[in-house]
Structure 1
């Protein structure tokens, strides 16, 4: 059941935690930072949250105008969840929290890594040349496709396939994370059957391996 617990503290920090401090709430926000998601998408991205728990968090966040539920027009006609303007204001907070959390060791057991989490890392760690021509990549991570567009030195990531792409990458979130942190190379990932590249492979390799700052 949705919770109505409160810290009963007038401080703005406590009042914010009354809204997004419940377990899984901020991870729901994280998953929606790159665009709308269906309930089934969120379940796959957050396998540790039961369906009931996720439904409760979504209802609570919607009740606080952090998230809204919307039905897509035909032919899709599916229901998606997306951040409101108020919810989107949490983006720098969530990203700063993620950066702070990297100082701590990862879980001792094999941990899940969502596509959104890795794509947010990609967006924050890569700084393309502002003078480079616009480029569009098609990333397929497990069973989802994303558009990664680069223009004026900025990276834009949205769910769904691009109309056209200069290059493409098919892999899983863990392998993409290894490519980004330098613990593996595109050549090694391809040779090991962990990744497949298409299109302008040289441009894609340069993008994946560009030094982060």
Structure 2
């Protein structure tokens, strides 16, 4: 059942933790930062949480106005969870927490990395030239498709099929993370079969290899 525990502390930090401090709550928020997801999507992205626990967290976050349910129109016609405007305000907090967490050692193997997590790393760590022409990419990770767009020096990521991608990449989140942190090259990943590339190779390399200096998202797991 959802909890109603409280710190009983008047400090605004404690009151915020009354809302999002339960186990898995902030990871649910993280998974919704790039758009709505179905319950099954969240379960796949958070394999360590039970269905009952995830249901409780979602109910709690809904009751506090952080998350909402909505029905997608046909042909999808499925129920998804999405962040409210109030929940969206947690984004810089979650990403800052991830930046702080980079100094914390990785847990013992095996470890899980969700598609959303590595795409947040992509969005925060890439800094295309503002003069570069806009580009659209199709990324397929864990059997889900994402649209990545670059425009005016920014990277934008959202769930769903792009209309007319310049290039595409199909891989798993861990391999994409390794490409982004530079521990493997795109050429090596292609040789080993870890990635499948389509479209404009040069455009894809520009996206993967253009770093943003010291800017970091909360999602990076590599060294």
TM range (shorter): over 0.9
Alpha-carbon distance in 2 for matches of 1:161, 1:211: 25
1:159-185 residue CA offsets vs partner (Å, 9 max, x unmatched): 011011000000000000000000000
Question: CA offsets per residue over residues 63-106 of structure 1, 9 Å max, x none?
Answer: 00000000011111100000000000000000000000001111
Task: Quote the residue 1:115 is aligned against.
Answer: 115
Q: Aligned-pair RMSD on alpha carbons? A: 0.6
Spell out, residue by residue over 1:129-188, the C-alpha distance to the aligned partner (whole angstroms, 9 max, x if none): 111111000000021000001111111100011011000000000000000000000011
- Matched position secondary structure for 2:193: coil
Are 2:21 and 1:3 aligned?
no
Give 5+ residue unaligned stretches, structure 1.
Answer: none
**Correspondence for 1:144:** 144
Q: Which has the higher contact order (CA 8 A, sep 6+)?
A: 2
Taking structure 2 as the reference length, the TM-score comes to 0.94
Q: SS of the residue aligned with 2:76? A: coil
- Equivalent residue of 1:80, what SS? strand
- 1:70 corresponds to: 70
Q: Residue 203 of structure 1: CA displacement?
A: 1.3
In 2, Cα distance between equivalents of 1:63 and 1:24: 16
Task: Report what 1:48 is aligned to.
Answer: 48
Q: CA deviation at 1:210?
A: 1.5
Instruction: Give CA deviations for 1:13-71 in whole Å, capped at 9, x if unaligned.
Output: 00000000000000000000000000000000000000000000000000000000000
Report the counterpart of residue 91 of structure 2 in structure 1.
91
Does residue 32 of structure 1 match 2:32? yes
TM superposition outliers: structure 1 runs of 4+ over 4 Å: none
Aligned to 2:19: 19
Aligned residues, how many? 213
Residue number in structure 2 paired with 1:154: 154
Could you tell me which runs of 5 or more consecutive residues in structure 2 were left unpaired when the two chains were aligned: 214-223
**SS in structure 2 of the partner of residue 204 of structure 1:** helix
Q: Structure 1-normalised TM-score?
A: 0.99
Q: CA deviation at 1:212?
A: 3.1
Say whether 1:205 aligns with 2:201. Answer: no
